[in-house]
Structure formats: C-alpha cells, structure tokens
Copies of this chain bind each other. A is one copy, B any other.
Amino acid sequence: MSETATALSLDDKLTAARTASIALAQASTARKNAGLEAIAVAVASGAERILPANELDLANGRENGLSQGLQDRLRLDEQRLAGLAAATRDIIALPDPIGTVLRGSTLPNGLQLTQVRVPFGVVGAIYEARPNVTIDIAALALKSGNAVVLRGGSAAENTNRVLVELIQGALASVGLPADAVQTIDEFGRDGATQLMQARAQVDVLIPRGSANLIDTVVRESKVPVIETGAGVVHLFLDKTADERMATEIAVNSKVQRPSVCNALETLLVDAEAAERLLPPVLAALHDNGVTIHGDERTRALYPDAVPTTDDDWATEHMSLDLSVKVVDDLDDALAHIRRYSTHHTESIVTNDMATANRFLAEVDSAVVMVNASTRFTDGGEFGFGAEVGISTQKLHARGPMGLPELTSTKWIVRGEGQTRG
C-alpha cells in the first residue's frame, strides 16, 4: 500500500480516509487499543527506518536555513522514539469515549430517545515540522474512532512518510483499516489549501502550532475548525490577598514553564494593597530571573522595573518577562482583563468571598481560577489524560480538550411504529 501512496491524488486519499472511517467507527475498544499497542511497538522498534528519514529532513532543513528551534523540534532519536511509544501507550489506558450515552428519555408517545457519542469521521490536522504530533494525533484519532488526514509540512516530509507507513502497517496488523491514517505532505502548500476546502470530505480541522498557522487556518478553512489559541494570562492580587500565597502563585504561574500558553503574562495588583504586596512579590519574581515591566505606579514601588508600553498588555511574551500594573480596584482589574485577555486563563488571589465570586462570574475565559496557579490549565492536570490542545474559542469545546472533544454525537430513536399526529 505504501509503495503506491504517492500515485494517489489528494481526493483519492480523502475518499480512502472516509471509507476507513466507516469501519473504524464500528471498531471495538479492544481492537483500537491493540492498534495503539502495535503503533507503540512499531515506533519503539522503528529507529532503523525512522532515523535515516529524519536525518534527511534535518539535512534539508540545515540547507534551507531552518531555525535551530525548529531543527530541535524536528529531530528524533532513540530516546524520543521511546517517549512517543510511551505516550501512545498512555492513550490505551484512557476510557473510550465512543458509545457513551449523554442524555436519554422516553417521550410521552413511547419513543425511546438516546444521545450517544460517535466519532467525527475524518479529522484533518495541519501542523509544522513536529513529527511527534504525527504519532500523537494519529493515536488520539484512533482511540476516538476517527480517521485522520495529516499535513505535517514539507520540513518533516520524509520522517512523517515513514511514521505513517509504520502506523498503517500497525493498523493492518490488527485488522484495522490502514487508510485510517493518511499523510498529504507530498502535495505541498496546495495540499493544505485543498484540505481546508474539503467540506463534506473532512469533518473537522485541527491546526497545531504557531499563532500564525492557527490564524491562517481559521481564516481560510471552509471545514469547521477547532481553534487553539494564545494565552495572555492574567493574575489579579486583590487587596485581601495573602502575601505568601500571592508570591508563590505569581512565581509558579510565571516561572515554572514560561514558554507555554498557560504561563502568566500580566500581573494586576489592587492599588490598596500594592505597597504591601508588590515589593515582596516582585522581589521573588526577580530572584527567579523574571524581568519586570511596570506601569508608573508599579515603578514608584519597584524602581528597577522596565517602563511598560501599550503593546506589553497585549503581548504573550513566552519568556521570563512579566507586565505589571497597579489597578484601582476589582472593576478596574475586570476592565483591563476584558480588554486584553485572550480568554485562556485568568486567576485571582483573594480571601474575600464576594470578590472571588464576582471574578469567577464576570471573567469570560476558558478557565477562571481562585487561589491557584495558572499553570494548572492543562488536560493532564485536569485528569483528561491526553490533551488535544486548549481551546480559547467558545464553539464545541472550551479549555483543555481531551478525547471526548474529538467526538460528535448522534440521536438514536427507537419506536414501535409511531407517527406524528
């Protein structure tokens, strides 16, 4: 099958994925788990085929001036392959969402109504130069009963081709349709464009990667998109905040992993408590390597701060830089968040119940927290196991997305000849 793959048109591949999705939707959990185990084995023992292809991509990357960061993401080695196999096995342990009954009732006329989870059908994924996403998305799609069409970008084309061949072999080895996982890298940019136009052939499209990639897919796709977005994450220190808790949560939110979307970007402090809280909190952040950017009132209390610009408030630094602002009160904090939040995660440190309740009710974000580090917005931390991404939009899924978010639903109606009067 893999030998002839390059001779197929993209349309052929989408059709084959659809056909495979029909069989996959009916596959038992046991068989899907057997497929995941076969993929894990193929990846863990596939270095001989995978690493030379990966070396070819890396050589092309060096020639084409691929950045060091992207080269690092692209690089596979024995250890990373073992990690990918382990991640695939983690998905075996997760509950299968397919067939879950969500709602049901018997209508007055005796009709029995049941709403059940079903796979989307064919999922498309567009990402960049990260072969780990190939395994990751294929495994998540398989567990949720979906066929998947992967567009991983030309920089990883050789690696992805070998990985998909291994996945297809693994699926076939347990009696699942090999066509359930397809790559369309060989069609280049046209392939991505065509995938975004493939309404009816593809049920949902998931972009993973840079803000630029996600924006492009959201703008151009005619296929429904599950969007994952950037995080300009805020922490508000209320006037009742405990100094030690404020310090620990601010430092953890900012420092624990500054390059990810749930890391803190802007610290807001109630003016009434700024003198008490800012010096110790900012000193602790500074001791942890954070560069403080402060507004005028912040700099009055912490003169070492870099003056903020208007751009700072809307910036996802993804580095050890933090914007700090003194606000008049809760209303001022809520107004600032309303204006600059990307609706990912916001947290408050407070000991006042009414303030906590207003913050939870009025902040319009995927995750709103009281007295907790923003770093907890995460599928793993929430107990979902695998994470598809973190949705910052409001349709279909909001916040960390696990396997159930890769499914749709279907209404089953059982009757005994009922007609409508």
Residues of B within 8 A of A383 (CB): 105, 107
Q: Do the beta carbons of A382 and B26 come within 8 Å of each other?
A: no
Q: Do the beta carbons of B416 and A371 come within 8 Å of each other?
A: yes
Interface residues of A in 376-413 (CB under 8 A from B): 376-377, 381-383, 393-396, 398-400, 408-413
The stretch among A129-137, A180-188, A360-368 that forms the contact with chain B is A360-368
Q: Do the beta carbons of A419 and B382 come within 8 Å of each other?
A: no
Partner of A408, one of B360, B371, B372, B394: B394
The verdict on A369 contacting chain B, using a C-beta distance below 8 Å, is: yes
Q: Do the beta carbons of A371 and B412 come within 8 Å of each other?
A: no
Q: Do the beta carbons of B413 and A121 come within 8 Å of each other?
A: no
Q: Do the beta carbons of A219 and B218 come within 8 Å of each other?
A: no
CB distance from A16 to the nearest CB of B (A): 14
Partner of A417, one of B120, B249, B409: B249
Interface residues of A in 258-296 (CB under 8 A from B): none
The verdict on A375 contacting chain B, using a C-beta distance below 8 Å, is: yes
CA distance A410 to B218 in the complex (A): 22
The verdict on A252 contacting chain B, using a C-beta distance below 8 Å, is: yes
Q: Do the beta carbons of A248 and B419 come within 8 Å of each other?
A: yes
Chain A interface category by residue count: 35 or more
Residues of B within 8 A of A107 (CB): 381-383
Residues of B within 8 A of A199 (CB): 218
The verdict on A418 contacting chain B, using a C-beta distance below 8 Å, is: yes
Residues of B within 8 A of A398 (CB): 408-411
CA distance A22 to B396 in the complex (A): 21
Residues of B within 8 A of A256 (CB): 419-420
Partner of A26, one of B115, B361, B417: B361
The verdict on A415 contacting chain B, using a C-beta distance below 8 Å, is: yes
Residues of B within 8 A of A105 (CB): 383
Indicate whether A252 sits within 8 Å of B419 (C-beta atoms), given known contacts A120-B394, A226-B395, A361-B26: yes
3 pairs of A and B residues whose beta carbons are closest in the complex? A372-B415, A252-B419, A394-B408
Task: Beyond the given A204-B394, A368-B412, A373-B415, please list 18 additional residue pairs across the A-B interface where CB-CB is below 8 A.
Answer: A25-B364, A111-B376, A115-B399, A224-B224, A242-B417, A366-B410, A367-B410, A370-B414, A370-B415, A371-B416, A371-B417, A371-B418, A372-B419, A373-B418, A375-B419, A376-B420, A395-B396, A399-B410
